[in-house]
Amino acid sequence: MPKDDRVIELQPNIFLLRGEDSGSHSYLIRGDYKNVLIDSGLDKNFPKLQRSLLMLGIKLRDIDIVINTHEHFDHIGANRYFQDYALIAAHRFAATKITVEDRYVTMYKSSDLNEPPLKVHLWLEDKSRFDLGNYILKIVHTPGHTSGSICIYEVTRKLLFTGDTVFAGGTLSYIGESGSVGDYINSISLLETMKINEIYPGHGAISKTPEENMQKAILNAKALLRDEEGVEIAHFQEAP
């Protein structure tokens, strides 16, 4: 296989496709039954995403499902290249923002939205599942960063795709227009009850210390509520 340092095989048939310039990462899961892409990333990063997929032998039409971790533009921007072939899936609170082009919440600039409307075919709920044969994905609704934020739990290997909800080191992301610090703390407390081996976030490094990251994230969120100075907010350019 040709080398591309933007592509990392994290598990058999699970690949990190690294985002650039503050665009989110994408993750490819080559399933026995269906191929899933988690987040499409920034629109402008699409040519690089396409090249990485092609290197893995995946053409656009081979992606069956795109799951968006939430409604921010840097995670859904390239959906439009997939939506005529693949099913686009997002939590229903994200779907309502994406489909009406709610710029306040998605943070699109007006100049970015002169393209065909973004579609969401599958409106997800907490506990929705995708059976891919070799992998099983379970949706966990984790509002906080935004109202429509989800984490995607891979049941067989206990992996968690976290979008902007949990980052390595417990660094917080910006709490968005539809988000809530209270919901965020509640969501992380819920995740803390789950057995998780590795965290695959939307930006920055992957993590093999989920418990520490989540404890730190809760401490950071509580500090944010107290208006403490020096609470770490994520910068999205760290290399994994």
Which residues of this chain interact with Zn ion, rule CB under 5 A? Answer: 72, 164
Extract the tokens encoding 50.
Answer: 């396409």
Three-state secondary-structure class, residue 90: strand
Closer Cβ to Zn ion, 164 or 198, answer by number = 164
Question: Which string of DSSP letters, residue by residue, matches 8-60?
Answer: EEEETTEEEE---TTPPPEEEEE-SS-EEEE----GGGHHHHHHHHHHTT--G
Least separation in angstroms between residue 163's CB and Zn ion is: 7
Three-state secondary-structure class, residue 239: coil
Least separation in angstroms between residue 91's CB and Zn ion is: 13
- Find the largest Cα–Cα distance for the chain: 51
Closer Cβ to Zn ion, 39 or 198, answer by number = 39
Least separation in angstroms between residue 145's CB and Zn ion is: 6
Give the C-alpha separation, 237 to 240, whole Å.
Answer: 9
Q: Are the C-beta atoms of residues 16 and 8 closer than 8 Å to each other?
A: yes
Closer Cβ to Zn ion, 30 or 72, answer by number = 72
CA 53 to centroid of chain Cα atoms:
17
Least separation in angstroms between residue 173's CB and Zn ion is: 6
Least separation in angstroms between residue 146's CB and Zn ion is: 6
Closer Cβ to Zn ion, 35 or 178, answer by number = 178
Least separation in angstroms between residue 108's CB and Zn ion is: 12
Q: Are the C-beta atoms of residues 69 and 38 closer than 8 Å to each other?
A: yes
Closer Cβ to Zn ion, 107 or 136, answer by number = 107
Residue 92 has what DSSP assignment? H
Closer Cβ to Zn ion, 6 or 72, answer by number = 72
